[in-house]
Amino acid sequence: MNREQFQVYVDHFNNRRYDAVTGYFAPDITVEYYDNATGEQVPHRTLHGPAEFEAAYKALHANVREVLELRSFLSSETEMFVELYTEFHAFNDAPPSASRPPMKKGDVVIMTNFILYEMEGDIMKRIRIAHFRNHDPGEAKYKE
């Protein structure tokens, strides 16, 4: 997958086209998350399969607008490594999840993460997300 193709995937994600996003996934995909990006020790979490991924993000996006911005992108035949700048804007109070504290309406969380994708052709087989840093919420680019 090249940068332009991956940018289409990001656009699907940003516009909550979950069927299009999970169309890039192997049926047995795993999505593994970091365990401490919020500064609090939280358990690591792994999603198994497209349906679990879709359910988790539909629950989050019911209260929070999430916007990904692709920065660095490296790709080989079997792996992709990307840097994603991500903003979360709570438009309702959002309950805590296994990997993040609750958010109040109006809260903004901004972070940069590094993501390693293991690929089989253009299909994502395993995704591992590593937190790099949080940013000042006042620097939000994707305000409502």
Other CB atoms within 10 A of residue 53 CB: 19
pLDDT of 84 reads 98
The residues, ordered by sequence, that sit 6+ positions from 72 with a Cβ below 8 Å of its Cβ are: 81, 82, 83
Rounded average pLDDT over 53-82: 96
Q: Tell me, rounded to whole angstroms, the distance of Cα 18 from its chain centroid.
A: 12
The answer to whether position 55 is within a domain reads yes
Rounded average pLDDT over 46-64: 96
pLDDT of 71 reads 98
* More confident position, 102 or 40: 102
Q: How far apart are the first and last CA of the chain?
A: 31
pTM of structure = 0.92
* More confident position, 43 or 83: 83
User: Where in the sequence is the domain holding 94, given as residue range(s)?
Assistant: 3-37+45-137
pLDDT of 101 reads 81
Question: What CATH number is attached to the domain comprising 104?
Answer: 3.10.450.50
The answer to whether position 99 is within a domain reads yes
Q: How far is CA 5 from CA 70, 76, 80, 94, 123, in A?
A: 12, 14, 12, 32, 12
The total of structural domains in the chain comes to: 1
The answer to whether position 144 is within a domain reads no
Return the bridge partners of 74, or none. 81
The answer to whether position 98 is within a domain reads yes
The answer to whether position 142 is within a domain reads no
pLDDT tens-digit series, residues 99-143: 678 899 999 999 999 999 999 999 999 999 998 999 999 999 997
The answer to whether position 91 is within a domain reads yes
